[in-house]
């Protein structure tokens, strides 16, 4: 459509047509002028109708410019016609009509349009004067001067106004762009804050990470995400979600930082990996096996320190947009604080649980030791009192029996006190060893002979496979370890059950396995039984003991450069394996 000023010009032309018709009707023209006067009015009316028709038609930009030029030319012809038909009158004010096309051209096309229209219109009026009443150069010069000045001044003003309008529109567009950019950044910040608030909504890791994933998935879709933290010199996975979350680098997985992607992120810069098929890092093979092709990694920044990274992976290469990169980069800073709080809470909770567990173990130990001390002491006191009060009344065999009871219970007390003292020395680092060449085969035979002589209810069988090489160790301490293991095996085996001890050398090490016929040890307790004061909770209840034997045995094994482990499956029985390095 023509612009609104074009429609106003149609109305203005219609008014001028009426004014022109009235002027022609009331003017006393010479006979030869009147037909031409009405012809000019008719032409101007036709131009007005034509301009009205154009204003109702939708035109393109080029066609609109052409229409304006055409209407301007027609208006100029009409104005020249009015000037011509009134030229017989000297000083007639209708001569000033030549200024209207000049002003219109200047308003439409600026300085150039005003200048061109000024030249055309002033030239036309000079030609009319020359053909009509006669040319007066003084009047013609004034007319040319006024017409050109009008065109140039109006055109210049129009150009200046257009330039100012252009600058204003440019500033408005810039302001709108800045407003949109500011709004976008506010949206990004708000979405990042929502994710950070979701992660900080709980100090329980699973609950907090679940809420975080729900928010993150709606903002930045992904196939896999992970939060990896810096733990000393290792990259420890804190949480994962998406493809392979429980199989590939699951929570708790620890790998060296050196050579990993986390090492690159430690400088605090976001990493955009557009195609991981280049296999830059050890983890790329497993990610590619999951069907992932691109990865976006942002550091978790706590101040200026990087505490870890947040990674997002997708199955398409080059899948992350600039807006998503900006959002995830901002998210790294906001999430770091929540992650640090969760990590601190988890560490503090584990510390509290550990302290509570140790406190409970100590309480159990005090109760246990009190019970273990009370029973033999009561037996010793009772036997001693009986011997003291009824010595003469007892037979020699009875006196020997009471004295043997006192000896056995005193030995139990000595062993208990010895275990407590050994534990204290181990913790203090003062537990002494005398290393020499030790024949382990002979040590095994001695331990088995002692166990067989001490009881007859549970058979103890030993088998030595091949030649057992000598080792460098403390014979008495190793004898103590084997005695403890065999004693425990006998204690937990039912009457008639069998305890098997096997020894063999392989791959530069000597392995001695002690298998009992007891109920077995639940998997969740297989690590705890090697701790101080801990005893296995097995079917049929716990057996008497201080809960220190296995702790001392493992400490001795580790002091010899070896290990002590336990295995217990679905079948009854448990196997304790002592592994020691062979040779000198």
DSSP 392-423: TTS-HHHHHHHHHHHHHHHHHHHHHHHHHHHH
Angle between helices 137-199 and 99-131 (to 10 degrees): 160
Amino acid 368: pLDDT: 62
pLDDT over 50 (residue 564): yes
Show the CA angle centred on residue 178, arms to residues 175 and 184, nearest 5°. 140
Pinpoint the residues of the chain covered by CATH 3.30.565.10: 436-581
Per-residue pLDDT tens over the stretch 209-254? 777 777 777 777 889 988 888 887 888 888 888 888 888 888 888 8
Which tokens hold the place of 402? Answer: 């009471």
pLDDT at res. 135: 65
Task: State the average pLDDT for the chain.
Answer: 80
**508-561 tens-digit pLDDT:** 888 999 998 888 888 878 777 887 766 666 655 555 566 778 888 888 888 888
| CA nearest to 147, candidates 80, 69, 74, 82 | 80
Q: pLDDT, tens digit, for every residue of 371-408?
A: 666 777 777 788 788 888 888 788 888 878 888 888 87
Of 481-490, 514-523, 568-577, the one with minimum mean pLDDT is 568-577
C-alpha dihedral sign at 352, 357, 362, 367: positive
pLDDT band at 294 (very low <50, low <70, confident <90, very high): very high
Give the orientation angle of helix 549-559 with respect to helix 475-492, to 10 degrees. Answer: 140
Q: Which CATH class is domain 220-351?
A: alpha beta
| Sheet with 563-567, edge to edge strand ranges | 460-465, 499-506, 509-515, 575-581, 563-567
Contact partners, residue 127, CB within 8 Å, separation at least 6: none
Domain 436-581, CATH 2.40.10.340 — does that match?
no
Segment 145-154 shows an average pLDDT of 82
Residues of the chain with CATH 3.30.450.40: 220-351
The mean pLDDT value for 138-147 works out to 75
Q: What is the pLDDT of residue 1?
A: 34
| pLDDT beyond 70 at 88 | no
Give the mean pLDDT of 309-324. Answer: 87
Q: Residues with Cβ < 8 Å from 315, sequence gap 6 or more?
A: 223, 291, 292, 293
Higher pLDDT, 286 or 571: 286
Give the model's pLDDT for residue 3. 47
């Amino acid at each position: 459509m023509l612009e609104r000023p074009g429609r106003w010009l149609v109305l203005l032309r219609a008014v001028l047509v009426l004014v022109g018709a009235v002027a022609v009707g009331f003017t006393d023209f010479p006979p030869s002028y009147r037909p031409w006067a009405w012809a000019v009015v008719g032409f101007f009316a036709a131009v007005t109708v034509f301009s009205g028709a154009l204003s109702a038609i939708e035109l393109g930009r080029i066609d609109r410019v052409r229409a304006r030029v055409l209407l301007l030319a027609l208006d100029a012809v009409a104005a020249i016609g009015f000037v011509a038909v009134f030229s017989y009158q000297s000083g007639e004010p209708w001569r000033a009509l030549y200024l209207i096309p000049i002003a219109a051209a200047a308003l439409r096309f600026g300085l150039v349009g005003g200048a061109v229209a000024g030249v055309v219109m002033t030239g036309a009026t000079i030609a009319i004067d020359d053909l009509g009443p006669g040319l007066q150069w003084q009047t013609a010069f004034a007319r040319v001067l006024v017409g050109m000045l009008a065109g140039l001044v109006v055109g210049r003003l129009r150009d200046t106004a257009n330039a100012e309008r252009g600058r204003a529109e440019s500033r408005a567009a810039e302001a709108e762009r800045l407003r949109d950019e500011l709004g976008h950044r506010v949206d990004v910040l708000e979405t990042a804050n929502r994710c950070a608030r979701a992660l900080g909504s709980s100090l329980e890791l699973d609950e907090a990470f679940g809420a975080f994933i729900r928010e993150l998935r709606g903002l930045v879709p992904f196939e896999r995400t992970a939060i990896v933290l810096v733990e000393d010199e290792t990259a420890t996975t804190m949480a994962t979600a998406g493809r392979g979350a429980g199989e590939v680098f699951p929570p708790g997985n620890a790998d060296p930082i050196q050579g990993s992607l986390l090492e690159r992120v430690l400088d605090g810069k976001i990493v955009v990996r557009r195609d991981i098929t280049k296999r830059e890092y050890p983890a790329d093979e497993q990610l590619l096996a999951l069907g992932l092709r691109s990865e976006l990694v942002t550091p978790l920044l706590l101040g200026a320190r990087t505490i870890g990274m947040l990674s997002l992976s997708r199955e398409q290469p080059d899948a992350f947009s600039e807006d998503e990169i900006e959002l995830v980069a901002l998210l790294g800073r906001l999430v770091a604080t929540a992650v640090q709080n969760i990590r601190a809470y988890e560490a503090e909770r584990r510390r509290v649980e550990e302290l509570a567990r140790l406190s409970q173990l100590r309480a159990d130990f005090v109760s246990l030791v009190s019970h273990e001390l009370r029973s033999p002491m009561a037996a010793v006191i009772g036997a001693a009192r009986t011997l003291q009060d009824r010595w003469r009344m007892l037979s020699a065999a009875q006196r020997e029996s009471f004295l043997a009871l006192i000896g056995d219970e005193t030995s139990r007390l000595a062993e208990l006190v010895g275990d407590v003292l050994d534990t204290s020395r181990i913790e203090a680092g003062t537990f002494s060893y005398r290393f020499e060449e030790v024949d382990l085969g002979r040590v095994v035979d001695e331990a088995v002979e002692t166990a067989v002589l001490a009881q007859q209810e549970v058979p103890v069988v030993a088998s030595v496979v091949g030649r057992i090489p000598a080792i460098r160790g403390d014979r008495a301490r190793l004898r103590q370890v084997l005695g403890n293991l065999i004693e425990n095996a006998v204690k937990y085996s039912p009457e008639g059950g069998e305890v098997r001890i096997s020894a063999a050398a392989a791959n530069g090490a000597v392995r001695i396995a002690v298998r009992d016929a007891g109920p077995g040890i639940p998997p969740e307790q297989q690590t705890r039984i090697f701790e101080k004061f801990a005893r296995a909770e097995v079917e049929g209840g716990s057996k008497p003991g201080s809960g220190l034997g296995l702790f001392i045995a493992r400490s001795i094994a580790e002091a010899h450069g070896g290990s002590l482990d336990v295995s217990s499956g679905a079948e009854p029985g448990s196997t304790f394996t002592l592994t020691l390095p062979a040779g000198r």
